[in-house]
Amino acid sequence: MKQTEEKRDVFVAIADPTRRKLIRLLADTDEVALHELTPHFQMGRTAVSKHLMILKEADLVKNRKAGRETKYRLNPEPLQEVKDWLAFYDQFWKERAAILKSILEE
């Protein structure tokens, strides 16, 4: 009874430029089939499919069988984890900037 199929780190998922491009393409349209995505890349269908699989494992995309094709759609929710992670250093960044500013004003 395993429906989660090995969870994938969202940071790893977005590390690859091909996968970021996929995310971008999926953001443009509600639902896209695999064969509609592949022409945007130089690599073969299998490679694109594997990237989509990795995104799915990170829960960044959902897919649905529709006849003979598989429709993919973006699920941006896991990106929240990255956003939260960044928020910490954003605060750090601002603090440092403030300290630097006060030093310069001495």
Partner DNA sequence: CCGATACGATACCAAATGGTGTCCTTTTGA
Partner DNA sequence: TCAAAAGGACACCATTTGGTATCGTATCGG
User: Which residues of this protein are in contact with a copy of itself, per CB under 8 A?
Assistant: 9, 11-12, 14-15, 17, 20, 23, 27, 74, 76-77, 79, 82-83, 85-86, 88-90, 92-93, 96
CB 13 within 8 A of CB 50: no
Distance CA 23, CA 31 (A): 12
Of 64 and 96, nearer to a copy of itself (C-beta) is 96
Instruction: Sheet containing 69-74: give its strands across.
Output: 32-33, 69-74, 61-66
11 lies in the site for DNA, by CB under 7 A: no
Owner of token pair 């073969």 = 44
Minimum distance, C-beta of residue 88 to a copy of itself, in the bound complex (Å): 8
Minimum distance, C-beta of residue 18 to DNA, in the bound complex (Å): 5
Q: How far is CA 78 from the centre of its chain?
A: 8
Return residues touching DNA (CB under 7 A).
Answer: 12, 15-16, 18, 33-35, 42-47, 49-51, 54, 63, 67-70
